[in-house]
């Protein structure tokens, strides 16, 4: 991409979209097209059609999505499949109709089967049953990456599909009802420390293993890949750190960073989700990119950002 290219970042206020926006600006890309959800409802076909026809972006990062953890997915399954299907369908189709030069679609590692071999390789897609707790979201994401694949095949588009692992970082969602595990743990331990709670109770057994990637690393990978002329020829591309950790170990690490000294208790009557989710990132490594932010360092940056936000917004808990 030339630095003056017209680049649309869909979902620029979210965790991933904001990181991509920061990365682009740091590299000198200043001709960015940004719209909040109140300015452009990507679920509305008419609004998306008018936006692409008027703004004519040359490149698109499709980071807009309805996201959440186990609780949110279980509570709002209809919204998760409906909203994500609508967002993807509209953006991908009108990117094609308006001759976007390149589009990067962000999927999720939850698209892989519940019992996929570990680490999960790109060819494991659709080789078994999905994890029930996030099936609606996963089905929508599979449809999006397949849409990119089939548009490339039929129309000759240059749409790249990437599969990130669990992402965390600056601008994360810390709402305990809708957040993913890592930001939820940061908030739980921060509140427990502030309130001098003797224990912190967490869902599940603590034994499942998860891989986590700092959002700024994901953004760097996305910009790197959209600048690779043959990226779409590689099919799906996993993006991850290449290492995982148990939820118990993660809780201990976050408690240490936050400074909480009480007891960690797991409620094994609550669901664990998949027992392990680790991506095989050998394809991306062979293409020349690897993650650089260590988990401790990334969590510390995320916690510091959370504390700063709590000071700015009295409604948030420190």
Q: What is the pLDDT of residue 75?
A: 87
Annotated binding-site residue numbers: 11-17, 106-109, 141, 164-167, 180, 188, 203, 210, 272
The per-residue pLDDT for 318 is 53
Sheet holding 7-10, edge to edge: 32-33, 7-10, 59-62, 102-106, 159-164, 237-239
What's the rounded Cα separation, in Å, for the pair 189 and 192?
A: 5
Q: What is the pLDDT of residue 158?
A: 98
Q: Per-residue pLDDT for 213 more than 60?
A: yes
Please state, in angstroms and rounded to a whole number, the distance separating the CA atoms of residues 152 and 160.
9
Q: 264-298, pLDDT tens digit by residue?
A: 999 999 988 778 889 999 999 999 999 999 999 99
pLDDT of residue 222: 98
Q: Compare 2 and 72 and report the one with higher pLDDT.
A: 2
* Banded model confidence at residue 314, pLDDT cuts 50, 70, 90: low
Task: Please count the residues of the chain.
Answer: 318
Binding residues for substrate: 188, 203, 210, 272
Contact 198, 262 (CB under 8 A): yes
> How far is 138 from 153, CA to CA, in rounded Å?
23
Q: What share of the chain is helix, strand, coil (3-state, %, to 5)?
A: 45, 15, 40
Convert the pLDDT of each residue in 109-164 to its tens digit: 889 998 999 999 999 999 999 988 889 999 999 999 999 999 999 999 999 999 99
For residue range 227-252, list pLDDT tens digits in order.
999 999 999 999 999 999 999 999 99
Which of 274, 14, 36, 43 lies closest to 170 in space, CA to CA? Answer: 14
Q: Assess whether pLDDT exceeds 70 at residue 189.
A: yes
pLDDT above 70 covers what percent of the chain? 98
Classify residue 193: in a domain, yes or no: yes
Among the ranges 140-154, 171-185, 301-315, which has the highest mean pLDDT value?
Answer: 140-154
Question: Is the residue at 2 inside a domain?
Answer: no
Query: Does a structural domain hold residue 120?
Result: yes
Examine residue 1 and state whether it is found in any structural domain, yes or no: no
**100 pLDDT above the threshold of 80:** yes
CA distance 111 to 128: 10
pLDDT of the residue at 69: 72
Contacting residues for 176 by C-beta, under 8 A, at least 6 apart? 184, 187, 188
Q: Which pLDDT score is estimated for 125?
A: 96
Instruction: Report the share of the chain in percent with pLDDT over 90.
Output: 86
137 is catalytic: yes
Which one is predicted more confidently, 219 or 76? 219
In this predicted structure, the answer to whether residue 54 has a pLDDT above a threshold of 70 is yes
Instruction: Kindly state whether residue 137 falls inside one of the protein's structural domains.
Output: yes
Residues belonging to the binding site for NADP(+) are 11-17, 106-109, 141, 164-167, 180
Phi-psi region of 288 (alpha: psi -120 to 50; beta: other; left: phi over 0): left
Q: How far is CA 296 from the centre of its chain?
A: 19
Active-site pick, 8, 137, 260, 303: 137
Residue 57 lies in a domain: yes
Domain count, the chain: 1
Task: Specify if 237 maps to a domain.
Answer: yes
Q: How far apart are CA 277 and CA 220, in angstroms?
A: 22
The residue among 145, 277, 305, 151 whose CA lies nearest residue 210 is 277
**Residue 278: both structure tokens together:** 């680790």
Tokens 């089905």 — which residue? Answer: 139
Mean pLDDT of 63-83: 88
CB 19 within 8 A of CB 218: yes
The C-alpha atoms of residue 292 and residue 21 are separated, in whole angstroms, by 19
What pLDDT score does 84 carry?
Answer: 97
pLDDT value of residue 79: 95
* Domain encompassing residue 291: 7-312
Separation CA 186–CA 194 (nearest Å): 12
Asked whether residue 318 is assigned to any structural domain, the reply reads no
Contact (Cβ atoms closer than 8 angstroms) between residue 180 and residue 16: no
Q: In CATH, what number is assigned to the domain containing residue 250?
A: 3.40.50.720
What are the DSSP E strand ranges found in the chain?
7-10, 32-33, 59-62, 102-106, 159-164, 166-168, 199-203, 209-210, 212-214, 237-239, 245-246, 263-267, 276-277
As a whole number of angstroms, the distance between CA 140 and CA 86 comes to 9
pLDDT of 263 higher than 60: yes
Q: What is the rounded average pLDDT for all residues in the chain?
A: 94
Look at residue 281 in the predicted model and tell me its pLDDT: 98
């Amino acid at each position: 991409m030339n630095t003056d290219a017209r680049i649309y970042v869909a979902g620029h206020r979210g965790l991933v979209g904001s990181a991509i926006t920061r990365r682009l600006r740091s590299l000198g890309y200043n001709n960015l097209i940004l719209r909040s959800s109140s300015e452009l409802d990507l679920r509305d076909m008419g609004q998306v059609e008018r936006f692409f026809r008027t703004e004519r972006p040359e490149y698109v990062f499709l980071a807009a999505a309805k996201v959440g953890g186990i609780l949110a997915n279980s509570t709002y399954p209809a919204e998760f499949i409906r909203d994500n299907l609508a967002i993807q369908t509209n953006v991908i189709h009108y990117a094609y109709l308006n001759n976007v030069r390149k589009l990067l679609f962000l999927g999720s590692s939850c698209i892989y089967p519940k019992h996929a071999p570990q680490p999960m390789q790109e060819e494991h897609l659709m080789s078994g049953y999905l994890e029930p707790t996030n099936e609606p979201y996963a089905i929508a994401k599979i449809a999006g990456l397949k849409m990119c694949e089939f548009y490339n095949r039929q129309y000759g588009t240059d749409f790249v599909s990437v599969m990130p692992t669990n992402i965390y970082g600056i601008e994360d969602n810390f709402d305990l009802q809708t957040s993913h595990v890592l930001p939820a743990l940061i908030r739980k331990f921060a509140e427990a420390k502030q309130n001098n709670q003797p224990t912190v109770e967490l869902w599940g057994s603590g034994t499942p293993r998860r891989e986590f990637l700092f959002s700024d690393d994901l953004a760097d990978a996305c910009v790197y890949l959209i600048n690779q002329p043959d990226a779409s020829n590689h099919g799906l591309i996993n993006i991850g750190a290449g290492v995982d950790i148990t939820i118990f170990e993660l809780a201990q690490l976050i408690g240490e960073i936050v400074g909480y000294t009480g007891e960690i208790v797991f409620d094994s009557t609550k669901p664990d989700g998949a027992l392990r989710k680790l991506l095989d990132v050998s394809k991306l490594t062979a293409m020349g990119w690897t993650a650089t932010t260590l988990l401790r360092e990334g969590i510390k940056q995320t916690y510091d950002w959370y504390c700063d936000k709590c000071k700015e917004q009295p409604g948030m808990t420190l």
